[in-house]
Amino acid sequence: MKFLSNGIGELVLEKLSKAIEARLAVAFFNPSDGMLNALAGIKELKLIVSEEFSVNNPYKLERLKIATLRSVPPDDANGKLHAKVLIMKLLDGSCWTLLGSANLTYQGMFSNQEACVVIESGDPADETSAREISGWFDSLFQSAKFLDLHQAKLIFDTRSQYRLVPRTSPELETDAGYWALKTTSGSTGKQHWPKFLAEGVIAVGWNSLPLDPSKVSDVQLRVALKKKYDYSDRKAKVAANQIGKFVGLKTGDRVLLCRGYAPVQEKDVHIHGVARVTGPFRAEAWKKGDWRFKHDAVIQEIDLDLPRDVVASALRKQSLRQTIHALEKADFDRLIKKLKEFGVHIEV
């Protein structure tokens, strides 16, 4: 085992030129053209990346024509992918492994202060470690998702959109509403956040309702909910109230996009992002599995877990269990300040 802190990119390029197989698991993938060409020349390449496509470049992934690509969502049950591991089989039959802090980006390979270790099959002392790392990669590869390049491109292309859409005037800002919106289907647990980010929208469920909730009365909406979902009077009233809040969002309203939390829970709260509403409510045509009640929005991705008590204290809410919650501006701003303490600066 050898320690490496200088010349990482140059050494990786040298080894790639001699590689016949490579397996790579990396959080961030945005390599230089030289590194990308070296990877593209390998006949058997398996690559796992994090689904953080506001950073990772899907167009460069697409150039790896014969590679087998997999991805891990940031909210994976086992945690986000943060590893940086490169395993190569070389022309002489030996194996070479690099693991450490360096992502497969130009900065990670050539300019950052990184720390890595190299494991080589020719060293008997490294055999057990090399075998364990190889097994770890194969297990992760089996559990990872097939990479959706189309959706990845949509996210990547809108990654800086919130900087390009003008803010509302100061007069309208003072009239803005503040909200927290969950991003999962309550009945199935399906995560809709990637669609939000890819399409530049925020949305809510009840997508099989046979009407546009913005064009009916509250009574008509409750009747439709009871009929479609077999809701009780009370549950239909609660659902209609939730939908009504979402329909009524105004241009300029700011929305915290997050996972919900219970009054007593140890698990952290995942903050997906913050959105600013940029368009009126619309009801799209029904499509199986998709939420169709939407507002256009510019979204800043955050992708951060915060302690439940920090979120609850900032928002002065002991739980976020319903789909949408109205917030006080002071409470929303208090959470924004907490995010700043964690290194996140809100720009929407």
Which pLDDT band holds residue 316 (cuts at 50, 70, 90)? very high
Does the structure show a pLDDT above 50 at 172?
no
Residue percentage of the chain with pLDDT more than 70: 94
Q: Where are the alpha helices (DSSP H) in 188-328?
A: 193-199, 218-229, 233-247, 308-315
pTM, entire model = 0.59
- What pLDDT is recorded for position 343? 76
Query: pLDDT digits over 89-105, tens only?
Result: 999 999 999 999 999 98
State whether 176 and 286 are in the same domain.
Answer: yes
310, 317, 318: which is closest to 335 by C-alpha? 310
Looking at the structure, do residues 65 and 177 belong to the same domain, yes or no?
no
Q: Are residues 55 and 173 in the same domain?
A: no
> Mean pLDDT, to the nearest integer, of 52-63?
87
Helices (H), ranges, 26-121: 33-40, 58-62, 106
Same domain, 79 and 193: no
User: Helix or strand or coil: residue 134?
Assistant: helix
Q: Are residues 212 and 298 in the same domain?
A: yes
CATH number for position 238: 3.10.590.10
Task: State the pLDDT at residue 107.
Answer: 84
Q: What is the CATH number of the domain that holds 79?
A: 3.30.870.10
The per-residue pLDDT for 255 is: 96
pLDDT digits (tens, 9 = 90+) for 104-121: 988 899 888 999 999 998
Tens of pLDDT, residues 238-283: 999 999 999 999 999 999 999 888 888 788 898 999 999 999 999 9
Q: Could you tell me if residue 321 is inside a domain?
A: yes
**What is the average per-residue pLDDT within 16-33?**
93
pLDDT value of position 164: 44
Range of the domain at 138: 2-155
- Based on the fold, state whether residues 106 and 136 are members of the same structural domain: yes
Q: Is residue 346 domain-resident?
A: no
Are 6 and 120 in the same domain? yes
Query: Which of 111, 135, 155 is the C-terminal boundary of a domain?
Result: 155
Are 228 and 326 part of one and the same domain? yes
Side chain identity at residue 251, one-letter code: T
Residue 347 belongs to some domain of the structure: no
Domain shared by 243 and 288, yes or no:
yes
Helix boundaries (H) for the chain: 8-16, 33-40, 58-62, 106, 127-143, 149-157, 161-164, 170-173, 193-199, 218-229, 233-247, 308-315, 329-341
What are the tens digits of pLDDT across the range 193-228? 888 888 889 999 898 899 999 999 999 999 999 999
In a domain, 113, yes or no: yes
Alpha carbon distance, N-terminus to C-terminus of the chain: 46
